[in-house]
Amino acid sequence: MVAAGPERRFTIDELAEEVHLSTSRFKARFREQMGMPPGEYMVRAKVERAHQLLEESALSITDIAYRLGFSSSQYFATVFKRFTNMRPKDVRRRTA
């Protein structure tokens, strides 16, 4: 299930159920193992995938945002910049 990648939207509850843990125990164990909460890990994976799509595809920034589960392209751009210190359009221009 988890191998589906960042384009598949999982809830924390689904992930906890998959590994037969309570949600709170899953969050604690995940943080111990990965050094960050599962929600942050998933957002980072989405940003990484978005960066790849911006460089390698002709998809619009809005299409990438929606494909990865962001509620709007504006929110996607805000999150992307928070993690990369670049705007999505800057990545796109740099690779054009």
Q: What pLDDT, in 10s, does the model give residues 75-86? A: 999 999 999 999
Residue 26 domain boundaries: 11-95
- 10: pLDDT strictly greater than 90: no
Give residues with Cβ within 8 angstroms of 37, minimum separation 6. 27, 30, 31
Q: Report CA torsion sign: 15, 21, 25, 31.
A: negative
pLDDT for position 6? 58
CATH number reported for the structural domain that contains residue 84 in this entry: 1.10.10.60
Q: Is residue 5 part of a domain?
A: no
How far is it, in rounded angstroms, from Cα 21 to Cα 52?
32
Q: What pLDDT, in 10s, does the model give residues 15-56? A: 999 999 999 999 999 999 999 999 999 999 999 999 999 999
Q: Is residue 46 part of a domain?
A: yes
* Structural contact between residues 40 and 27, judged by C-beta atoms closer than 8 angstroms: no
Q: Is residue 3 part of a domain?
A: no
Q: Is residue 25 part of a domain?
A: yes
